Each structure stands twice: as structure tokens, then as C-alpha cells.
Amino acid sequence: MTEPAIAFFDGRLMPLKDANVNIATHAFNYGTAVFEGIRGYWNDQEEELYVVQVGPHFARLQRSARVLQIDLPYTVEELVAHTKDMLKANQFREDVYIRPLAYKADAAIKVGLSGIKSGFGMFAVPMGNYVATGGIQVSVSSWRRIADNMIPSRAKVSGAYVNAALSSDQAKVDGYDEAIMLADDGHVSEASSSNLFMVRGGVLVTPPVTADILEGITRQVAIDLAREISVPVEVRPIDRTELYSAEEIFLCGTGVQLAAVISVDRRPVGEGKPGPITLALQELYYDLVRGRSARHRHYVTPVYRG
């Protein structure tokens, strides 16, 4: 396993151990940072590292930064170039997870956003499966998903992930793998850190972006792939009890990838194993991310040949 030795921080590559912030930094004290999670997948046959949807991830980071009035001094193209340089410097030859952060960088005791300087840093670490993708057990959390007019749900705000941590930890203490969160109106929102899809009547259903979800990049890839194989997709509100009668459920996101759900609140989903639509989408997705599918190459960016 490659040790993550080189980070991109304050405009240059440097040893990760030196890419530090002061404990008085505003983002550390108030959660005033935004971030992305981006995956890179190693292809042994081609000896190439493919980064998935790197441009859309950085475009979303820019949108998140605008919400918190964080100045991000790089274009999407520049951020992609810095990412590739950092990965090359680390000489990764395995699957990796990339974490860029834009944050309020002043050492300031001040509740606010205006007039506080911004910073940016990025690092990467080796990462395999975040959760088991072959079948996980989930519960509906007692913690509600924070509403968009409380902390913007379509921005990846670091402080907001306390909400996700509380629900995820509750689920794991109770013996589940993951938590599903309801929006304030009682409809299904998403899992603690991933989007949700279910199948009912052969139709793939996912909550709308107005259900206090993160506008997931992997979510859109899953929709694209479903339409490719002629699976009808419906974007609409989902009631909690629909989860108990769904034929299939899966979670998707950069971290969880496409993870089949086999039970909700101890009730089996379908036959209690991954269903045919989930399996078909998983196969397509895992070929896509490793650059094995020629028709899906526009989703991935090669690091060493690019």
C-alpha cells in the first residue's frame, strides 16, 4: 500500500505531514469549510489510475464554496491538473480517495462568513470498499436530515456532517450497517452520506433534489446507466413505508459506490439479496470507474497518460 506522502496545500505540493492549520482556524472552530470526495480506481491491465467524474466534483465544490462565501482561486481545469500532479507525486498504483477542502482560514473568533480569508488544501489516501457492496442492513434513523434552509444540503459543508455522523453512529451501535434519514416533512431523504434508490413495480425511484438531499454525482451516473439499459426512472417523494415493500434498494455515492440494501429495519428487501436491476447497475458502474467500458470513458480521467 502506498503511503500518502504528498498533499497540495497553499498553492503547492508539499509533504502531507507539513500541510497543517492552526487550532484557531475559523473552519476548525465553526465548521466553515466545504469539501468533496473523489475516487480514483486502479486498472491493473492498463496500469492506469482513473479518476471518476473529477470535473463535476470540482464544479460542485465551487458551488458549495459560493454558498459559504469561500474564495476558491482555481478553475475546474486547474483543480483537475493539481489533482493529477498530486496523484503522480504519490505514485499511487491502487484505488484511492481524494479529499479537497476549501475553508475559512483566518485564526478568528467570529461567528460569520464575510471578511474572513479563504484557504484550500487537498490530499489522497488509499481506499477500498467503504461499506460492503454485496448487501447491507439499514435502519431508518431517529435523527432527521437537516433542512436546506438550516444548513444548505446541496452544499458539502463540513460542519453539517455532524448530522450524518450522529445517524450513522446510532445505526452501527444498534447493529446496522447504515442509516436512512427522513426529511423534516417525514419523506425519505437519503442515507447518512449517500443517495438512495428503490425499485417498485420495475421502476427505479429516487427522491428529488428538493428532499434535502445532496445533489449526488454518482446519483446522476446511476440514473444515466439505468436509462441506458431501458430501466424507467422516476424522481419523486418516497414514503418511509415504501421502503418496506420495495423490490430492491441500493445506496450510491463516491464512498459507498453502489451498495445493495438487503433489509430495512429488520424487514428483508425483496428476497433479501441484491436484485437484478441493482446487480446490472453495479456491473456497469464498476466497469465504468476502472475505465473498462469504452462508451463510458467520458466519465473518467486518466492520471498517468493524461
At 39-80, the pLDDT tens digits run 999 999 999 999 999 999 999 999 999 999 999 999 999 999
Q: Which is the catalytic residue, given 17, 84, 88, 156?
A: 156
Cα 119 from Cα 105, distance rounded (Å) = 5
What was the pLDDT predicted at 287?
97
| 273 classed as catalytic | no
CATH number of 6-126: 3.30.470.10, 3.40.50.1820, 1.20.1050.10, 1.10.3720.10?
Answer: 3.30.470.10
What was the pLDDT predicted at 306?
66
| C-alpha distance across the termini of the chain, in Å | 23
Determine the residue type at 195: N
State yes or no: pLDDT of 113 exceeds 70.
Answer: yes
What was the pLDDT predicted at 109?
94
What was the pLDDT predicted at 33?
98
What was the pLDDT predicted at 133?
75
- The tens digit of pLDDT for each residue in 252-299 reads 999 999 999 999 999 999 999 999 999 999 999 999 999 999 999 999
Output Rg (C-alpha) for the chain, integer angstroms: 19
Contact by Cβ (8 Å): 259, 133: yes
The CATH code of domain 136-289 reads: 3.20.10.10
- The tens digit of pLDDT for each residue in 211-245 reads 999 999 999 999 999 999 999 999 999 999 999 99
128: confidence class by pLDDT, cuts 50, 70, 90 = confident
What was the pLDDT predicted at 130?
66
Is pTM beyond 0.85? Reply is yes
Which range is least confidently modeled, 73-77, 88-92, 125-129, 230-234?
125-129
Determine the residue type at 31: G
State yes or no: pLDDT of 192 exceeds 70.
Answer: yes
2: confidence class by pLDDT, cuts 50, 70, 90 = low
- Structural domain boundaries in the chain: 6-126, 136-289
What was the pLDDT predicted at 110?
93
Cα 299 from Cα 21, distance rounded (Å) = 34
303: confidence class by pLDDT, cuts 50, 70, 90 = very high
What was the pLDDT predicted at 4?
62
Q: What is the mean pLDDT of the chain?
A: 96
What was the pLDDT predicted at 138?
98
Residue 275: closest CA among 206, 197, 216, 219 = 197
